[in-house]
Structure 1
Amino acid sequence: MTERELFDAYNKDVYRTCYYMLRNAQDAEDLCHDVFVTVFRQDWRNVGHIRAWIMRITMNHCLNLLRRNQTQREKQSQVEWLHEQTAAAVKSVDTVVLERAAAAEWEHLLRQLPDKLMSVITLRYIGELSISEIAETLNIPVGTVKSRIHKALKIMRKKLERHNRYEVKGEEQYGTP
Protein backbone atom coordinates (compact mmCIF):
# COMPACT_ATOMS: atom_id res chain seq x y z
CA MET A 1 0.00 0.00 0.00
CA THR A 2 1.33 3.43 -0.92
CA GLU A 3 1.05 6.53 1.23
CA ARG A 4 -1.61 7.87 -1.13
CA GLU A 5 -3.66 4.68 -0.83
CA LEU A 6 -3.34 4.79 2.96
CA PHE A 7 -4.46 8.40 3.00
CA ASP A 8 -7.40 7.70 0.67
CA ALA A 9 -8.46 4.73 2.79
CA TYR A 10 -8.48 6.50 6.17
CA ASN A 11 -8.68 10.27 5.68
CA LYS A 12 -12.49 10.43 5.96
CA ASP A 13 -12.50 8.47 9.23
CA VAL A 14 -9.73 10.64 10.64
CA TYR A 15 -11.42 13.87 9.56
CA ARG A 16 -14.83 12.80 10.88
CA THR A 17 -13.36 11.86 14.25
CA CYS A 18 -11.41 15.11 14.45
CA TYR A 19 -14.48 17.11 13.52
CA TYR A 20 -16.70 15.50 16.13
CA MET A 21 -14.08 15.88 18.83
CA LEU A 22 -13.22 19.50 17.98
CA ARG A 23 -16.48 20.79 16.45
CA ASN A 24 -14.54 23.06 14.14
CA ALA A 25 -14.04 22.30 10.45
CA GLN A 26 -10.75 24.20 10.09
CA ASP A 27 -9.21 22.67 13.22
CA ALA A 28 -10.36 19.21 12.09
CA GLU A 29 -8.77 19.69 8.68
CA ASP A 30 -5.51 20.93 10.21
CA LEU A 31 -5.42 18.08 12.70
CA CYS A 32 -6.22 15.53 9.98
CA HIS A 33 -3.16 16.79 8.10
CA ASP A 34 -1.04 16.57 11.26
CA VAL A 35 -2.20 13.01 11.90
CA PHE A 36 -1.08 11.84 8.47
CA VAL A 37 2.22 13.68 8.80
CA THR A 38 2.75 11.75 12.05
CA VAL A 39 1.68 8.47 10.42
CA PHE A 40 3.99 8.88 7.44
CA ARG A 41 6.95 9.71 9.68
CA GLN A 42 6.48 6.38 11.47
CA ASP A 43 7.09 2.85 10.23
CA TRP A 44 3.41 2.42 9.33
CA ARG A 45 3.98 -0.49 6.94
CA ASN A 46 4.86 -2.77 9.89
CA VAL A 47 1.79 -1.91 11.99
CA GLY A 48 -0.59 -4.84 12.50
CA HIS A 49 -3.91 -3.07 13.02
CA ILE A 50 -3.40 0.05 10.94
CA ARG A 51 -6.91 1.52 11.39
CA ALA A 52 -6.81 1.26 15.18
CA TRP A 53 -3.27 2.66 15.20
CA ILE A 54 -4.24 5.64 13.04
CA MET A 55 -7.33 6.29 15.17
CA ARG A 56 -5.19 6.20 18.34
CA ILE A 57 -2.93 8.85 16.83
CA THR A 58 -6.03 10.82 15.84
CA MET A 59 -7.55 10.68 19.32
CA ASN A 60 -4.24 11.66 20.93
CA HIS A 61 -3.94 14.68 18.63
CA CYS A 62 -7.56 15.67 19.35
CA LEU A 63 -7.25 15.31 23.11
CA ASN A 64 -4.00 17.27 23.13
CA LEU A 65 -5.61 20.13 21.22
CA LEU A 66 -8.68 20.08 23.47
CA ARG A 67 -6.48 20.32 26.53
CA ARG A 68 -4.70 23.33 25.06
CA ASN A 69 -7.87 25.06 23.87
CA GLN A 70 -10.85 24.19 26.06
CA THR A 71 -12.90 27.02 24.56
CA GLN A 72 -12.56 25.60 21.03
CA ARG A 73 -15.29 23.04 21.74
CA GLU A 74 -18.11 25.53 21.41
CA LYS A 75 -17.13 27.03 18.03
CA GLN A 76 -18.89 24.89 15.44
CA SER A 77 -22.10 22.97 15.60
CA GLN A 78 -22.09 19.29 14.75
CA VAL A 79 -25.60 19.73 13.49
CA GLU A 80 -24.54 22.07 10.68
CA TRP A 81 -21.98 19.59 9.43
CA LEU A 82 -24.40 16.67 9.59
CA HIS A 83 -26.97 18.55 7.54
CA GLU A 84 -24.39 19.57 4.94
CA GLN A 85 -23.35 15.94 4.60
CA THR A 86 -26.88 14.56 4.41
CA ALA A 87 -27.97 13.40 0.98
CA ALA A 88 -30.39 15.64 -0.87
CA ALA A 89 -33.36 13.56 0.19
CA VAL A 90 -36.68 15.37 0.19
CA LYS A 91 -38.07 15.61 3.70
CA SER A 92 -41.05 17.35 5.15
CA VAL A 93 -40.43 20.52 7.12
CA ASP A 94 -41.69 18.78 10.27
CA THR A 95 -39.20 15.96 9.82
CA VAL A 96 -36.30 18.34 9.30
CA VAL A 97 -37.27 20.38 12.37
CA LEU A 98 -37.55 17.26 14.56
CA GLU A 99 -34.21 15.91 13.30
CA ARG A 100 -32.48 19.21 13.99
CA ALA A 101 -33.95 19.38 17.49
CA ALA A 102 -32.85 15.81 18.25
CA ALA A 103 -29.35 16.43 16.85
CA ALA A 104 -29.02 19.66 18.82
CA GLU A 105 -30.08 17.87 22.00
CA TRP A 106 -27.58 15.04 21.36
CA GLU A 107 -24.81 17.56 20.71
CA HIS A 108 -25.66 19.48 23.89
CA LEU A 109 -25.50 16.27 25.96
CA LEU A 110 -22.26 15.15 24.28
CA ARG A 111 -20.58 18.51 24.96
CA GLN A 112 -21.26 18.19 28.68
CA LEU A 113 -19.32 14.93 29.01
CA PRO A 114 -15.73 14.85 30.28
CA ASP A 115 -13.11 14.32 27.56
CA LYS A 116 -12.49 10.66 28.42
CA LEU A 117 -16.18 9.82 28.14
CA MET A 118 -16.73 12.00 25.08
CA SER A 119 -13.86 10.27 23.26
CA VAL A 120 -15.28 6.74 23.71
CA ILE A 121 -18.79 7.86 22.72
CA THR A 122 -17.41 9.68 19.66
CA LEU A 123 -15.38 6.68 18.56
CA ARG A 124 -18.25 4.24 19.19
CA TYR A 125 -21.23 6.07 17.72
CA ILE A 126 -19.67 8.54 15.30
CA GLY A 127 -16.48 6.73 14.30
CA GLU A 128 -18.37 3.40 14.38
CA LEU A 129 -15.44 1.54 15.97
CA SER A 130 -15.97 -1.71 17.85
CA ILE A 131 -15.30 -1.93 21.58
CA SER A 132 -11.99 -3.73 20.95
CA GLU A 133 -10.94 -1.14 18.32
CA ILE A 134 -11.68 1.65 20.79
CA ALA A 135 -9.64 -0.13 23.46
CA GLU A 136 -6.73 -0.47 21.06
CA THR A 137 -7.12 3.10 19.80
CA LEU A 138 -7.09 4.64 23.28
CA ASN A 139 -4.67 2.04 24.67
CA ILE A 140 -7.02 1.10 27.51
CA PRO A 141 -8.59 -2.22 28.54
CA VAL A 142 -11.84 -3.38 26.90
CA GLY A 143 -13.54 -3.31 30.31
CA THR A 144 -12.61 0.34 30.72
CA VAL A 145 -14.12 1.15 27.32
CA LYS A 146 -17.34 -0.63 28.28
CA SER A 147 -17.55 1.12 31.64
CA ARG A 148 -16.89 4.54 30.09
CA ILE A 149 -19.56 3.99 27.45
CA HIS A 150 -21.98 2.82 30.13
CA LYS A 151 -21.16 5.78 32.38
CA ALA A 152 -21.43 8.31 29.52
CA LEU A 153 -24.79 6.94 28.38
CA LYS A 154 -26.04 6.88 31.97
CA ILE A 155 -25.04 10.54 32.46
CA MET A 156 -26.66 11.54 29.18
CA ARG A 157 -29.82 9.55 30.00
CA LYS A 158 -30.15 11.22 33.43
CA LYS A 159 -29.70 14.68 31.95
CA LEU A 160 -32.25 13.89 29.25
CA GLU A 161 -34.77 12.58 31.80
CA ARG A 162 -34.22 15.64 33.99
CA HIS A 163 -34.73 17.90 30.98
CA ASN A 164 -37.90 16.04 29.94
CA ARG A 165 -39.35 16.20 33.49
CA TYR A 166 -38.68 19.93 33.56
CA GLU A 167 -40.42 20.41 30.20
CA VAL A 168 -43.46 18.39 31.29
CA LYS A 169 -43.75 20.35 34.56
CA GLY A 170 -43.49 23.60 32.62
CA GLU A 171 -46.26 22.53 30.21
CA GLU A 172 -48.55 21.50 33.08
CA GLN A 173 -47.86 24.74 34.88
CA TYR A 174 -48.91 26.81 31.89
CA GLY A 175 -51.87 24.62 30.99
CA THR A 176 -50.40 23.16 27.80
CA PRO A 177 -51.69 19.64 27.12
Structure 2
Amino acid sequence: MNEKELFEKYNKDVYRTCYYMLHHAQDAEDVCHDVFITVFRQDWQKVEYMKTWLMRITVNHCLNFLKRERTAKQREKKQFILTPQRTADPVDTLIEHVEESEVWAQWVHELPEKIRSAILLRYMNELSLSEAAEILEVPLGTVKSRVYKGIRLLRKKWDQARKQHQKGEMYSEAYGKSVVSSSEK
Protein backbone atom coordinates (compact mmCIF):
# COMPACT_ATOMS: atom_id res chain seq x y z
CA MET A 1 0.00 0.00 0.00
CA ASN A 2 1.37 3.42 -0.89
CA GLU A 3 0.66 6.77 0.78
CA LYS A 4 -2.16 7.67 -1.59
CA GLU A 5 -3.95 4.36 -0.98
CA LEU A 6 -3.51 4.70 2.77
CA PHE A 7 -4.95 8.22 2.69
CA GLU A 8 -7.91 7.19 0.50
CA LYS A 9 -8.69 4.18 2.70
CA TYR A 10 -8.61 5.94 6.09
CA ASN A 11 -9.21 9.63 5.34
CA LYS A 12 -12.95 9.51 6.09
CA ASP A 13 -12.49 7.66 9.39
CA VAL A 14 -9.80 10.08 10.54
CA TYR A 15 -11.80 13.16 9.47
CA ARG A 16 -15.01 11.88 11.08
CA THR A 17 -13.21 11.27 14.38
CA CYS A 18 -11.62 14.72 14.23
CA TYR A 19 -14.94 16.37 13.40
CA TYR A 20 -16.84 14.74 16.24
CA MET A 21 -14.08 15.44 18.74
CA LEU A 22 -13.51 19.05 17.68
CA HIS A 23 -17.00 19.90 16.40
CA HIS A 24 -15.64 22.30 13.83
CA ALA A 25 -15.13 21.39 10.17
CA GLN A 26 -12.06 23.54 9.48
CA ASP A 27 -10.30 22.43 12.66
CA ALA A 28 -11.13 18.81 11.81
CA GLU A 29 -9.62 19.23 8.34
CA ASP A 30 -6.48 20.81 9.78
CA VAL A 31 -5.99 18.11 12.39
CA CYS A 32 -6.77 15.37 9.85
CA HIS A 33 -4.06 16.82 7.61
CA ASP A 34 -1.62 16.91 10.54
CA VAL A 35 -2.40 13.28 11.37
CA PHE A 36 -1.47 12.10 7.89
CA ILE A 37 1.68 14.23 7.86
CA THR A 38 2.68 12.58 11.14
CA VAL A 39 1.89 9.12 9.77
CA PHE A 40 3.81 9.62 6.55
CA ARG A 41 6.87 10.84 8.46
CA GLN A 42 6.94 7.58 10.41
CA ASP A 43 7.66 4.02 9.29
CA TRP A 44 3.97 3.27 8.77
CA GLN A 45 4.51 0.35 6.36
CA LYS A 46 5.61 -1.86 9.28
CA VAL A 47 2.49 -1.23 11.38
CA GLU A 48 0.43 -4.38 11.84
CA TYR A 49 -2.92 -2.91 12.93
CA MET A 50 -3.12 0.19 10.77
CA LYS A 51 -6.59 1.47 11.71
CA THR A 52 -5.97 1.11 15.44
CA TRP A 53 -2.61 2.83 15.17
CA LEU A 54 -4.06 5.60 13.00
CA MET A 55 -7.01 6.19 15.35
CA ARG A 56 -4.63 6.43 18.33
CA ILE A 57 -2.66 9.12 16.51
CA THR A 58 -5.91 10.86 15.54
CA VAL A 59 -7.31 10.92 19.09
CA ASN A 60 -3.99 12.16 20.48
CA HIS A 61 -3.80 14.95 17.89
CA CYS A 62 -7.39 15.97 18.71
CA LEU A 63 -6.75 15.97 22.45
CA ASN A 64 -3.60 18.05 21.96
CA PHE A 65 -5.53 20.47 19.76
CA LEU A 66 -8.27 20.83 22.37
CA LYS A 67 -5.67 21.43 25.06
CA ARG A 68 -4.06 24.19 22.98
CA GLU A 69 -7.48 25.73 22.30
CA ARG A 70 -8.36 25.71 25.99
CA THR A 71 -5.06 27.41 26.85
CA ALA A 72 -5.63 30.04 24.16
CA LYS A 73 -9.16 30.71 25.42
CA GLN A 74 -7.87 31.12 28.96
CA ARG A 75 -5.33 33.66 27.70
CA GLU A 76 -8.06 35.52 25.79
CA LYS A 77 -10.29 35.52 28.86
CA LYS A 78 -7.48 36.88 31.02
CA GLN A 79 -6.76 39.58 28.43
CA PHE A 80 -10.45 40.46 28.26
CA ILE A 81 -10.67 40.81 32.04
CA LEU A 82 -7.60 43.01 32.10
CA THR A 83 -8.93 45.27 29.33
CA PRO A 84 -10.47 48.35 30.97
CA GLN A 85 -13.21 49.00 28.42
CA ARG A 86 -15.53 46.10 27.83
CA THR A 87 -18.21 46.09 25.20
CA ALA A 88 -20.88 43.44 25.03
CA ASP A 89 -21.89 41.92 21.73
CA PRO A 90 -25.59 42.03 20.91
CA VAL A 91 -27.44 38.85 21.81
CA ASP A 92 -28.49 36.80 18.78
CA THR A 93 -32.01 35.40 18.56
CA LEU A 94 -32.52 31.76 19.46
CA ILE A 95 -32.65 29.25 16.64
CA GLU A 96 -35.96 27.38 16.78
CA HIS A 97 -35.33 24.46 14.47
CA VAL A 98 -32.13 22.44 14.35
CA GLU A 99 -31.81 18.99 12.81
CA GLU A 100 -31.78 16.15 15.28
CA SER A 101 -28.33 15.02 14.16
CA GLU A 102 -26.91 18.43 15.03
CA VAL A 103 -28.45 18.18 18.49
CA TRP A 104 -26.83 14.80 19.08
CA ALA A 105 -23.51 16.05 17.71
CA GLN A 106 -23.69 18.97 20.15
CA TRP A 107 -24.52 16.69 23.04
CA VAL A 108 -21.59 14.42 22.15
CA HIS A 109 -19.35 17.48 21.89
CA GLU A 110 -20.39 18.56 25.40
CA LEU A 111 -19.23 15.27 26.90
CA PRO A 112 -15.93 15.34 28.79
CA GLU A 113 -13.00 14.72 26.42
CA LYS A 114 -12.09 11.26 27.72
CA ILE A 115 -15.69 10.04 27.59
CA ARG A 116 -16.23 11.62 24.14
CA SER A 117 -13.11 9.86 22.81
CA ALA A 118 -14.35 6.46 23.99
CA ILE A 119 -17.87 7.04 22.59
CA LEU A 120 -16.56 8.20 19.20
CA LEU A 121 -14.13 5.33 18.82
CA ARG A 122 -16.76 2.79 19.82
CA TYR A 123 -19.76 4.05 17.88
CA MET A 124 -18.57 6.42 15.15
CA ASN A 125 -15.60 4.30 14.10
CA GLU A 126 -17.27 1.02 15.03
CA LEU A 127 -14.24 -0.22 16.94
CA SER A 128 -14.43 -2.91 19.58
CA LEU A 129 -13.97 -1.94 23.20
CA SER A 130 -10.56 -3.62 23.23
CA GLU A 131 -9.47 -1.69 20.12
CA ALA A 132 -10.63 1.54 21.74
CA ALA A 133 -8.72 0.63 24.90
CA GLU A 134 -5.58 0.05 22.86
CA ILE A 135 -5.92 3.37 21.03
CA LEU A 136 -6.60 5.32 24.22
CA GLU A 137 -3.88 3.38 26.04
CA VAL A 138 -6.14 2.62 29.01
CA PRO A 139 -7.45 -0.65 30.48
CA LEU A 140 -10.50 -2.27 28.90
CA GLY A 141 -12.55 -1.67 32.05
CA THR A 142 -11.83 2.06 31.82
CA VAL A 143 -13.15 2.19 28.25
CA LYS A 144 -16.26 0.24 29.27
CA SER A 145 -16.83 2.68 32.13
CA ARG A 146 -16.36 5.73 29.88
CA VAL A 147 -18.72 4.37 27.22
CA TYR A 148 -21.33 3.54 29.88
CA LYS A 149 -21.02 7.03 31.43
CA GLY A 150 -21.26 8.64 27.99
CA ILE A 151 -24.40 6.73 27.11
CA ARG A 152 -25.89 7.57 30.51
CA LEU A 153 -25.14 11.30 30.05
CA LEU A 154 -26.59 11.32 26.51
CA ARG A 155 -29.68 9.47 27.71
CA LYS A 156 -30.14 12.07 30.46
CA LYS A 157 -29.99 14.92 27.91
CA TRP A 158 -32.44 13.07 25.67
CA ASP A 159 -34.89 12.54 28.56
CA GLN A 160 -34.66 16.21 29.58
CA ALA A 161 -35.35 17.37 26.02
CA ARG A 162 -38.29 14.99 25.67
CA LYS A 163 -39.69 16.02 29.07
CA GLN A 164 -39.54 19.72 28.14
CA HIS A 165 -41.19 18.99 24.80
CA GLN A 166 -44.02 17.11 26.54
CA LYS A 167 -44.64 20.08 28.87
CA GLY A 168 -45.46 22.18 25.81
CA GLU A 169 -42.19 24.04 25.78
CA MET A 170 -40.03 24.50 22.74
CA TYR A 171 -36.54 23.13 23.06
CA SER A 172 -33.77 25.26 21.66
CA GLU A 173 -31.22 22.68 20.57
CA ALA A 174 -28.63 25.32 19.82
CA TYR A 175 -28.40 26.44 23.44
CA GLY A 176 -29.76 23.48 25.39
CA LYS A 177 -32.35 25.66 27.14
CA SER A 178 -36.09 25.46 27.19
CA VAL A 179 -37.94 28.51 25.98
CA VAL A 180 -41.65 29.16 26.27
CA SER A 181 -42.94 30.05 22.83
CA SER A 182 -44.49 33.46 22.29
CA SER A 183 -47.90 31.89 21.62
CA GLU A 184 -47.88 30.32 25.12
CA LYS A 185 -47.03 33.53 27.05
For the superposition of Structure 1 and Structure 2, which TM-score range results when normalised by the shorter chain? 0.7 to 0.9
Report the AA paired with residue 57 of structure 1.
Answer: I
Structure in which a larger fraction of residues adopt helix: 1
2 CA distance for matches of 1:155 and 1:20? 16
Given the superposition, is the C-alpha separation of residues 143 and 71 from structure 1 closer, same or farther in structure 2, using an over 3 Å criterion? same
1 CA distance for matches of 2:126 and 2:56? 14
Matched residue, 1:38: 38
Matched residue, 2:103: 105
Given the superposition, is the C-alpha separation of residues 133 and 7 from structure 1 closer, same or farther in structure 2, using an over 3 Å criterion? same
The answer (yes or no) to whether the contact 2:119–2:147 under 8 Å persists in 1 is: yes
Matched residue, 1:92: none
Matches within 5 A, 1:9-20: 9-20=9-20
Matches within 5 A, 1:17-28: 17-28=17-28
Report the AA paired with residue 122 of structure 2.
Answer: R
Question: Aligned-pair RMSD on alpha carbons?
Answer: 2.5
2:26 is the alignment partner of 1:7: no
The answer (yes or no) to whether the contact 2:20–2:105 under 8 Å persists in 1 is: no
Q: If the length of structure 2 is used for normalisation, what is the TM-score?
A: 0.71
2:134 aligned to 121, 136, 139, which one?
A: 136
Moved over 3 A (4+): none
Matched residue, 1:67: 67
Q: If the length of structure 1 is used for normalisation, what is the TM-score?
A: 0.74
Larger-gyration structure (1/2): 2
2 CA distance for matches of 1:101 and 1:120? 24
Report the AA paired with residue 162 of structure 2.
Answer: N
Deviations 1:62-87 (A, max 9, x none): 01101111499xxxxxxxxxxxxxxx
Matched residue, 1:119: 117
Deviations 1:15-74 (A, max 9, x none): 1111121122221111111111111121212212111001100000001101111499xx
Report the AA paired with residue 62 of structure 1.
Answer: C
Please identify, of 120-129 and 57-66, the stretch whose mean Cα deviation from structure 2 is larger: 120-129
Please identify, of 20-29 and 101-110, the stretch whose mean Cα deviation from structure 2 is larger: 101-110
Q: Helix, strand or coil for the counterpart of 2:99?
A: helix
Question: What runs of 5+ residues in structure 2 fail to find an aligned partner?
Answer: 73-96, 170-179
Given the superposition, is the C-alpha separation of residues 37 and 101 from structure 1 closer, same or farther in structure 2, using an over 3 Å criterion? closer
Given the superposition, is the C-alpha separation of residues 19 and 111 from structure 1 closer, same or farther in structure 2, using an over 3 Å criterion? closer
Question: What runs of 5+ residues in structure 1 fail to find an aligned partner?
Answer: 73-97
2:167 is the alignment partner of 1:169: yes
1 CA distance for matches of 2:4 and 2:157? 44
Report the AA paired with residue 113 of structure 2.
Answer: D
User: Identity across aligned pairs (percent)?
Assistant: 55
2 CA distance for matches of 1:107 and 1:2? 34
Alignment: residue pair count: 148
